[in-house]
């Protein structure tokens, strides 16, 4: 993947694409954004994976692993997934559902295909938390497909679009939408005031953006210039994508292995809690 330093502002009438990437492949996962590259430019959005795998290939899931200082939002496009986390929640999330995990001061969680599921596909997003929440108690929210509101072609995973508002309390001003357009269908997204960060990632089809360039293809992420302007889309074939817009996160990104905080002190506190929970899980025989 090219470095994110290639991003430069572009002053054009349409809201220009200033960076595009197909990310880097890690088995069944395509990493489109990380805190050390595009996350620096798109914060509070700091990490994005597009995952897709057939369970017949022997994939057993992601395994129990920790986080602190961030929230993760997993949008399941296809396949049912078993979940478990150290807030005490466990169950099965069906296709079309949303998992929100505010790691805060520290949490461990696990996800794996539910029995009988043949294919799983989705996006996992990490959101940097503001200083007031980065060491708060962990919180998990699981939404069934019927609990994810829609406005036109957009399902509102986080934030608000039109009259539709997510049941998940966004930690800062941001929107995260899952959009489906039919071949040739046009759609305009007008971001709320102050949402100068904007990007899209396509999971199926090709997406024109009104700039006259090559459409954004399947598996590609496109970054828009920082602006409050609307973005026009047109589907080239039936197209599915996610879109993020936000007020820019004003803090530094201080990174651990599974954690992102705003300061070294906050990171140290979160990693200490991760170690404490991990020791307990090992005592209980839930970790190797």
Q: What is the CATH number of the domain that holds 168?
A: 2.60.120.10
Band of residue 170 on the pLDDT scale cut at 50, 70, 90: very high
Mean pLDDT for 191-195 is 97
Closest CA relative to residue 218, chosen from 14, 56, 27, 20: 20
Q: 215-246, pLDDT tens digit by residue?
A: 999 999 999 999 999 999 999 999 999 999 99
Domain count, the chain: 1
pLDDT above 90 (res 160): yes
Closest CA relative to residue 9, chosen from 213, 275, 181, 223: 223
Q: Which of 12-21, 26-35, 137-146, 267-276 has the lowest mean pLDDT?
A: 12-21
Cα→Cα distances 187→21, 207, 210, 266, Å:
23, 11, 11, 41
Residue-averaged pLDDT of the chain: 92
Q: Which of 1-10, 75-84, 247-256, 270-279 has the lowest mean pLDDT?
A: 1-10
DSSP 216: B
Q: Would you say residue 193 lies in a domain?
A: yes
Mean pLDDT for 132-149 is 96
Phi, psi of 58 (to 5 degrees): 90, 10
Cα separation of 155 and 73, whole Å?
14
* Contact (CB, 8 A) for 40 and 4: yes
Mean pLDDT for 106-120 is 89
pLDDT above 70 (res 173): yes
Beta strands in 130-257 (DSSP E): 139-143, 150-151, 154-158, 160-161, 164-165, 174-181, 186-189, 197-208, 221-224, 231-246, 254-255
Band of residue 167 on the pLDDT scale cut at 50, 70, 90: very high
Q: Would you say residue 3 lies in a domain?
A: no
Domain containing residue 155? 12-283
pLDDT above 90 (res 189): yes
- Alpha helices (runs of H) in the chain, residue ranges in sequence order: 39-42, 264-283
Q: Would you say residue 110 lies in a domain?
A: yes
Q: Would you say residue 4 lies in a domain?
A: no
Q: Would you say residue 5 lies in a domain?
A: no
| Tokens 């088995």, residue located | 27
Question: How much is the pTM?
Answer: 0.92
Query: Which is it for the CA torsion 107, 242, 32, 96, positive or negative?
Result: positive
Cα separation of 64 and 71, whole Å?
16
Phi, psi of 111 (to 5 degrees): -145, 140
Mean pLDDT for 130-146 is 96
Cα separation of 275 and 279, whole Å?
6
Q: Would you say residue 7 lies in a domain?
A: no
Q: 24-79, pLDDT tens digit by residue?
A: 998 889 999 999 999 999 999 999 999 988 877 655 667 889 999 999 999 999 99
């Amino acid at each position: 993947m090219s470095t994110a330093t290639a991003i430069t502002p572009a002053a054009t009438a349409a809201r220009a694409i200033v960076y595009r990437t197909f990310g880097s492949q890690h088995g069944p996962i395509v990493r489109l954004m990380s805190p050390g590259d595009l996350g620096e430019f798109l914060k509070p959005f700091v990490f994005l994976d597009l995952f897709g795998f057939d369970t017949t290939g022997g994939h057993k899931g992601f395994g129990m692993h920790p986080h602190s200082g961030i929230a993760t939002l997993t949008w399941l496009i296809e396949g049912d997934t078993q979940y478990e986390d150290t807030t005490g929640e466990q169950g099965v999330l069906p296709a079309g559902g949303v998992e929100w995990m505010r790691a805060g001061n520290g949490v461990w969680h696990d996800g794996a295909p539910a029995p009988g599921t043949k294919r799983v596909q989705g996006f996992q997003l990490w959101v940097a938390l503001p200083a007031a929440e980065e060491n708060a108690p962990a919180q998990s929210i699981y939404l069934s497909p019927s609990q994810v509101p829609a406005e036109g072609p957009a399902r509102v995973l986080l934030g608000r679009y039109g009259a539709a508002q997510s049941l998940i309390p966004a930690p800062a001003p941001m929107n995260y939408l899952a959009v489906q357009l039919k071949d040739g269908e046009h759609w305009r997204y007008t971001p709320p005031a102050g949402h100068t960060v904007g990007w899209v990632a396509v999971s199926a089809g090709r997406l024109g953006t009104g700039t006259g360039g090559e459409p954004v293809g399947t598996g590609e992420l496109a970054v828009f210039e920082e602006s409050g302007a609307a973005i026009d889309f047109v589907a080239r074939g039936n197209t599915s994508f996610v879109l993020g817009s936000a007020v820019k996160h004003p803090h530094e990104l201080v990174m651990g292995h599974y954690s992102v905080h705003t300061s070294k002190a906050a990171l140290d506190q979160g990693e200490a809690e991760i170690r404490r929970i991990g020791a307990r899980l090992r005592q209980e025989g839930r970790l190797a």
